[in-house]
Structure 1
């Protein structure tokens, strides 16, 4: 597997300046047990037991991959005092939901002082790698409490310097990513960091590529060179049963791979089966743009990893079945080599998901068929009268009392308006399992959310429970949705048929996916809103509905991402990150609005040339960024996205006549599936089409055969036509004097009937300085006093060359004006600049190029 090495390892410390603001309108105050509980949206309570119960915000800064926050220096604070006198709730011991506790008025010595608490409002907590994107982590408390005087201040603005260091463990980054992979990972990281303009990964963006074998991109052939955005790992005996799901994912525009556990065990190293599987996933992620991974089997077929966070109960209780192990691909997860995996800090766990992972906990072909069928129904043919009805149910967690309904109310604030929801809370009423089952039977199960005492084979519901048998017997048919539960152990897939498995294996209903706990869920006695499991639950809903990370796997990753800055300090947060898994599909997108139809037009017969697809919705007209996939056996596999006009144009290269499938998908619409009959075109063929860089540009040449009926030949770089005059038919040459760094060239054959067939691409990478705008690597780098930066301009024109720090602030302007074509060298006297990473940016009217520069002291 590829190891990522960092030039930055030689830089001891790097400092940057940032500002973060809080509006007083964003804060609130609750009461609990006669005390005040300060609130802020997204706050996480991670104080020591007995200390004032103040919320902290996890903050992240986008940094180069492999870097982490070593120290925070607070430069300035602006505060606003809240009117009144406050006695802040004393932090309670987090507890398993199945082990109710009492409220303890245990005040730490902090309460006897009027010194500001916390002593440091911001603390650096390291960092991590998110699929090749670097983030530095810190936690920030926006409140300052003076216990004796009862004063409470809000920090409305904090300015700070961040000192970086390198991560202590190996990280893995993808060499290539498809546009879809790049989009979802960039969206996820930008939603997390305070400087989204600096989000960056060096991975090369490539179109999805499929080598058809009957099982999608690959079947036990990982060196074929395809992409595989969606990866299924299963046993040989199950491969055939999964084929309808693999083929659908492929057809809708996800390059796929099906690889067996048997193959992985034979071909990959590891201390046990789980590590071999993880090492294979690392390979696929680095080389195939793998984004979604489905573990196709119960843990006796695809082994689980047990993670350790903190010692609750017996060893069987605290050895947590944890599929995050297959999702977070950085670090070793057992660097100290003992019997406990996932310990912090000795086991080098990064905690950030690099791929999105779920499990089909199946043991038989019949169970596979049930889960595959439900996944296809949910994605393709959810009923037209499918209601977005949502059910929240919760219980009494202890005798204080701590009401689960209070926590659910917090989660429900993230539901969109189209989701009518009904609540069953013991706080408000008496109810039982029959009420919840009746809601399922009525089809009111688009989203189900639970907080109550549970166990392996039961889901607590009021004064009763939903058993595994009840779940397996659900008859809500195609009216299925997803189910998130905080209850203890009901997602323990390592046991014989837990209740969560019953929900997803139910052949006649249940849920398409569940997000359940494999061991204890955690809560805070006296304050259900701040329990670790409740905050994780809330952030799943925030990811799905607020951040529009609508695939189940991405929403789950976002919820765990949110906790990472605290996870390396708080074992209870690590616990809830480990314990929560997805049983069901991970790439599947949740319905967030009432479904509607797509209106799609495309050719029904085609013999070559342009293939235009137009996509509209019934209510919104032309759709921007709808995904369109053209697929014909092993012959054609093209994926594109519509523009604002609702149009996307392809130029398929087809070897023979046959049926071409056209599949269109867009969030909250039923996918469109159509066909086009490919007919035989002209006899003309391209015998040779090549391109090579020269000192003057890229020289292209071609040779054609059987050209008698051709009426024209054109040459394209991407979508730009290069020739203004007709080109020779049988053979010819053309010099592209203004190529880009990487160029895709196409030869277009124009037939008598007007059809145009494009052949290609021929991809040519042009060396720096050859006929194109070039920003060369700064020299030296790392630099100390002076650095030289050379540029090449292919034509006369205006040029701006400037240096920026990672906060986006311009620190030097090296060129700003008109320059002649050719090479130019500029020098920056950087002796007075702070050590760190900088961006050198070259801008012209046509393009912007960027290089990284390191200053060391």
Structure 2
């Protein structure tokens, strides 16, 4: 095998009277290797594409920002420089990209093309998409770094190009009118990460009017994070509320919004009404994240209700093609605030050429496929444990697992996709293994799972034809290499994120589950359901997968771009797209094809930043008491074992007597501290939540540091002095407070309040409710107490602290990490 390496440099000049600047783009190395008697190109940072039978050549997609009142009509090249690459190359013919359920046909070289010596493809850059992102007008171009003369078998390197965008006037695009100051960081980070000419962002992008981040002053008002669920199902909104409370506490104002009100907006059907509500929430209320809380289809429908919990929209992957397989449910519809999804008025939404889909998502959408409060609680409890406490073994976040089938299905991860992961990751590979082995692998709880297998709504085929070894969403028969079920998972408190390219794994909208024996099962539990919400205390917190087909190349390219965005860590202070929703949404903007854009969706929280490293522990210091009725300077200091920690988001929230009486957000400075001016008018508890997003870590070298969030409390009381003060500070009820629910050391500090003289008992149980030890059992006078207990004999895990006094009991969860 001959291996030749080259370095590509492309200089891009965009010139127009009054609008000219020079950019430089550095490509990656190219190499050639032989396959089936042809020379195939290896280009890790490019996508290999081509018309079937034509030479397969690399292409790269780049985004540029242009003036918002202009549109790019065309592109013209004024200068190009090429040099021949030494050698003779019979380039591999591009093959059709087909669904995973199909056997790819072999397409031989097109004799007309391969017998010609005309330059191929004889295009160097071209516009492939124009659209709007948060009021910024973007243009996506395709760059072709190599050219080919087939008959003489010569390959040319395009060393530099000078080109011009031809622009013409256009209307100013719609943009959001208002947004929280901290919420704006998300959009600034994304633009900085994806736009090539990022130095021009201040010239051509205007942010909305920025206001302090705060929960809505009125009930039933959208917020920065809006959870939409069906209020007609009793208990559904209440089940999502703990998650909304946690988001608000950590500095992302969140609400649970009733679907019935969202559907009051105009529209041809409920899906359009819901989209119009989201557009209004984005435009006028600063909504950034949307979680659609409910399944898309279930039987039987309750009397008088439609057969869905939250509406969905099918996207047409082909013009005028109404086949079910080419109309996948697509939540891109709810992310795109500017596209015209039914431009031609034929009720076929998102057609590739007949409609005007805008591929740049402005709102980041996830969906949870719950049917009832119990399933909602399953997911909420998992995501809260995952975000607040990580895992029972934090080192698992430095590990990733690949489950694929190269033996029977020719499905395997690309080497460049593996290379996107930080180099400290340990990769575990399970290729064409039995179903029971795959379930064991899923039980290990590594931080990220990638599944490259055939599938259906209820099946992951770990080995394809003729064996068809299957992991089912539910399996209650004998477990072996042929069959096993996700209901048998046992990864309690070792939750993870799953990325799948398999077909139909998230087809939540129908009951047609494939053509193989055992696939046509009438059930609501898709693979996406089974991982995220069907079963309590097991599985994943998020599943990214297809509502219809996955494709051999397009799906792997989408995953590759997702990993590039998620793991980016160099360059500007906001160098990456670190949340699941933003990485999933923007990965689709780098691919010029409609099917996987529609089919691949996120089933989880779009705001979640997945754990990709063993997180450290924050050390937080602040006052533990402040008086009522006085303005005080409240300083929070955050550090680690290595010293002060800057860029930590600190949120103060008092919400126990008056709604959001205190709500302040600030960021620690270089000394690791931030000071607030606060005033409390009522007694109670002030929560202090510290969280450090990856997107604010300023570095010019790779840095994947992550930290478990911290939530501590400050008591708010009446300070009147002397004996009266002592009497007034007696607790009114039994209380138990952990200074931190995570103990990384051997000592646990806790506070408790006793309203009257009584005998108290403080007991420690394991996660299954078994008594471990009695920490205290004695008569105690009324008052407030603080104690420290040594926990060096306890291993990592979840425990329960129970304080008992007379007929009252208080319980707190304790998480120990080592």
TM-score, normalising length: structure 2: 0.74
Does the Cα contact within 8 Å between 1:69 and 1:125 map onto a contact in 2?
A: no
Match of 1:678 in 2: 716
Does the Cα contact within 8 Å between 1:219 and 1:259 map onto a contact in 2?
A: no
**Distance change >3 Å, CA 297–CA 551, structure 1 → 2:** same
Shift of 1:339: 2.6
Q: Give per-residue Cα distances to partners, 1:556-593, cap 9 Å, x unaligned.
A: 12211222xx2xxxxxx210111001112111111121
Alignment counterpart, residue 224 of structure 2, candidates 229, 242, 247: 229
Q: Within 1, Cα distance between the matches of 2:157 and 2:453?
A: 34
Match of 1:412 in 2: 418
**Distance change >3 Å, CA 34–CA 451, structure 1 → 2:** farther
Match of 1:246 in 2: 244
| Secondary structure, aligned partner of 1:104 | coil
Q: How does 1:416-565 map to 2 (within 5 A)?
A: 416-426=422-432, 431-443=433-445, 445-462=446-463, 464-469=469-474, 470-495=485-510, 496-505=524-533, 506-523=535-552, 531-546=553-568, 547-563=575-591
Does the Cα contact within 8 Å between 1:609 and 1:652 map onto a contact in 2?
A: yes
Alignment counterpart, residue 287 of structure 2, candidates 275, 286, 290: 290
Does the Cα contact within 8 Å between 1:483 and 1:511 map onto a contact in 2?
A: yes
**Distance change >3 Å, CA 198–CA 20, structure 1 → 2:** closer
Does residue 184 of structure 2 align to residue 182 of structure 1? yes
Does the Cα contact within 8 Å between 1:460 and 1:466 map onto a contact in 2?
A: yes
Q: How does 1:602-641 map to 2 (within 5 A)?
A: 602-607=622-627, 608-619=631-642, 621-633=643-655, 634-641=660-667
Shift of 1:675: 0.9
Match of 1:666 in 2: 692
RMSD over aligned Cα, in angstroms?
2.3
Please, which runs of 5 or more residues in structure 2 have no aligned partner?
1-15, 297-307, 475-484, 511-523, 569-574, 694-705, 722-818
Shift of 1:432: 1.7
Does the Cα contact within 8 Å between 2:567 and 2:578 map onto a contact in 1?
A: yes
Match of 1:736 in 2: none
Alignment counterpart, residue 668 of structure 2, candidates 638, 642, 645: 642
Does the Cα contact within 8 Å between 2:532 and 2:543 map onto a contact in 1?
A: yes
Shift of 1:207: 1.3
Q: Which runs of 4+ in 1 moved over 6 A?
A: 311-314
**Distance change >3 Å, CA 472–CA 156, structure 1 → 2:** farther
Shift of 1:682: 9.8
| Secondary structure, aligned partner of 1:341 | coil
Q: Within 2, Cα distance between the matches of 1:513 and 1:68?
A: 38
| Secondary structure, aligned partner of 2:620 | strand
Shift of 1:175: 1.1
Does the Cα contact within 8 Å between 2:193 and 2:576 map onto a contact in 1?
A: no
Q: Within 1, Cα distance between the matches of 2:415 and 2:410?
A: 10
**Distance change >3 Å, CA 681–CA 42, structure 1 → 2:** farther
**Distance change >3 Å, CA 644–CA 123, structure 1 → 2:** same
**Distance change >3 Å, CA 221–CA 289, structure 1 → 2:** closer
| Secondary structure, aligned partner of 1:321 | coil
Alignment counterpart, residue 391 of structure 1, candidates 401, 406, 419: 401
Does residue 347 of structure 2 align to residue 339 of structure 1? yes
Does the Cα contact within 8 Å between 1:22 and 1:157 map onto a contact in 2?
A: no
Q: Within 2, Cα distance between the matches of 1:394 and 1:317?
A: 23
Q: Give per-residue Cα distances to partners, 1:112-154, cap 9 Å, x unaligned.
A: 2222212121112341111222211211101111112211122
**Distance change >3 Å, CA 166–CA 340, structure 1 → 2:** farther
Does the Cα contact within 8 Å between 1:308 and 1:342 map onto a contact in 2?
A: yes
Aligned residues: 634
| Secondary structure, aligned partner of 1:127 | strand
Does the Cα contact within 8 Å between 2:319 and 2:354 map onto a contact in 1?
A: no
Alignment counterpart, residue 122 of structure 1, candidates 122, 125, 143: 125
Does residue 206 of structure 2 align to residue 204 of structure 1? no
Q: How does 1:55-134 map to 2 (within 5 A)?
A: 55-65=58-68, 67-107=70-110, 109-134=112-137
Q: Within 2, Cα distance between the matches of 1:277 and 1:644?
A: 44
Shift of 1:41: 3.6
Q: Give per-residue Cα distances to partners, 1:455-509, cap 9 Å, x unaligned.
A: 1110121351211111233111110110001111111121332112111123131
Q: Within 2, Cα distance between the matches of 1:650 and 1:156?
A: 55
Match of 2:272 in 1: 275
**Distance change >3 Å, CA 439–CA 551, structure 1 → 2:** same
| Secondary structure, aligned partner of 2:80 | strand
**Distance change >3 Å, CA 279–CA 146, structure 1 → 2:** same
Shift of 1:106: 3.7
**Distance change >3 Å, CA 543–CA 391, structure 1 → 2:** same
Q: Within 2, Cα distance between the matches of 1:142 and 1:70?
A: 23
Q: Within 1, Cα distance between the matches of 2:352 and 2:242?
A: 41
**Distance change >3 Å, CA 66–CA 110, structure 1 → 2:** farther
Q: Give per-residue Cα distances to partners, 1:51-103, cap 9 Å, x unaligned.
A: 21112111221123364421111122233432211111111111001111222
Does the Cα contact within 8 Å between 2:360 and 2:586 map onto a contact in 1?
A: no
Shift of 1:16: 4.5
Does the Cα contact within 8 Å between 1:69 and 1:137 map onto a contact in 2?
A: no
| Secondary structure, aligned partner of 1:56 | strand
Q: Within 2, Cα distance between the matches of 1:350 and 1:24?
A: 27
Match of 2:410 in 1: 403
Shift of 1:30: 4.2
| Secondary structure, aligned partner of 2:503 | coil
Shift of 1:655: 2.5
Q: Within 1, Cα distance between the matches of 2:25 and 2:616?
A: 39
TM-score, normalising length: structure 1: 0.71
**Distance change >3 Å, CA 53–CA 18, structure 1 → 2:** farther
Does the Cα contact within 8 Å between 1:19 and 1:158 map onto a contact in 2?
A: no
Q: Within 2, Cα distance between the matches of 1:622 and 1:80?
A: 53
Does the Cα contact within 8 Å between 1:418 and 1:594 map onto a contact in 2?
A: no
| Secondary structure, aligned partner of 1:55 | strand
Match of 1:139 in 2: 142
| Secondary structure, aligned partner of 1:581 | strand
**Distance change >3 Å, CA 288–CA 129, structure 1 → 2:** same
| Secondary structure, aligned partner of 1:52 | coil
Does residue 613 of structure 2 align to residue 598 of structure 1? no
Alignment counterpart, residue 155 of structure 2, candidates 152, 156, 181: 152
Does the Cα contact within 8 Å between 2:183 and 2:213 map onto a contact in 1?
A: no
Shift of 1:186: 1.6
| Secondary structure, aligned partner of 2:340 | coil
Shift of 1:395: 1.4
Q: Within 2, Cα distance between the matches of 1:74 and 1:133?
A: 25
Does the Cα contact within 8 Å between 2:193 and 2:577 map onto a contact in 1?
A: no
| Secondary structure, aligned partner of 1:475 | coil
Q: Within 2, Cα distance between the matches of 1:36 and 1:20?
A: 32
| Secondary structure, aligned partner of 2:68 | coil
